[in-house]
Every structure is written in structure tokens, then in C-alpha cells.
Amino acid sequence: MTTTDPVQLLIDAGAIPANPFTPNSRYDGVPLGRLVRAPGDPGVSYVLRRFIPPRRDIAIAAEHVVTSGERPDLLASQALGDPELYWRIADANAVTDPFELSDTPGARVRIPQPPGF
């Protein structure tokens, strides 16, 4: 079936990457799905579900004690060198809402190994 979706046409032509996410995105490498409701419908692309990896599969570098006023992005910037990697810390602590990481001063947060280690 030939697509009329302009984005898919650009991907097929090599004009834009098939993976629209940057390497520091939690969705990098997650496959895309496509919903087509009827023949001739160009459909809608969507990101398939991403599961948090099992904690046993995440190498931990350190443990951090949360202080008042901390935010997940600031913690990621300090610990991993990139504020957009807050999701790696969330994964290491098995939380889906990153703000749970810094809600409670005194809580212990597991810091994963930086990417590439």
C-alpha cells in the first residue's frame, strides 16, 4: 500500500530520520506504531509503550540524599552531566513520575551509571 503521509514519505526518501528522538531521549530506540482507521486514511504515528527496565538491569553508581528544593533535572545535570537524562534516574528508582524523586527531603535516590559506562 502506498502512503500519502508526508512525514512517512520524507522518512522513506531519507530526508528525515526514522527515529525522531535524540540519543538522550527516553524514547530513543522505542519503535513507532501507526494507527490507520480506514483504507485511504493516512493514519497517525505514535510511540509504542516503553517499559521501565528491571532495576537489576541498571548499574548504580551512587546514592544521593535529597535536599529541599532539588528537582530531577538539576539532579541529572549534576550527576549525569545532562538535565534531560532525569528519566534515567527515574528508571533506576522505578518511578514513573520523576518529581517523586525530589518530593521528600532526606529520601535516598539511586544514581545510575552515566551513559557509556
Mark whether 61 and 86 lie in a shared domain: yes
Examine residue 117 and state whether it is found in any structural domain, yes or no.
no
- Same structural domain, 93 and 61: yes
Query: Has residue 27 been placed in a domain?
Result: yes
Number of domains in the chain: 2
In the predicted structure, residue 77 carries a pLDDT above the cut 90: yes
Q: How many CB atoms within 10 Å of residue 26?
A: 17
Q: What share of the chain is helix, strand, coil (3-state, %, to 5)?
A: 30, 15, 55
> pTM (2 decimals)?
0.74
The reply to whether 92 and 60 lie within a common domain is yes
Does residue 1 lie in a domain region?
Answer: no
In a domain, 75, yes or no: yes
- Assess contact for 33 and 45: CB atoms under 8 A: yes
Provide mean pLDDT across the span 18-32. Answer: 84
| Average pLDDT of the residues in 1-30 | 79
Of 6-10, 57-61, 82-86, 99-103, the least confident: 6-10
Confidence at residue 1, expressed as pLDDT on a 0 to 100 scale: 56
Helix (H, G, I), strand (E, B) or coil at 30: coil
Shared domain check, 43 and 59: no
Residue 61 shares a structural domain with residue 100: yes
Answer yes or no: do 77 and 96 share one domain: yes
Q: Is residue 32 part of a domain?
A: yes
- Domain extent, residue 72, equals 55-112
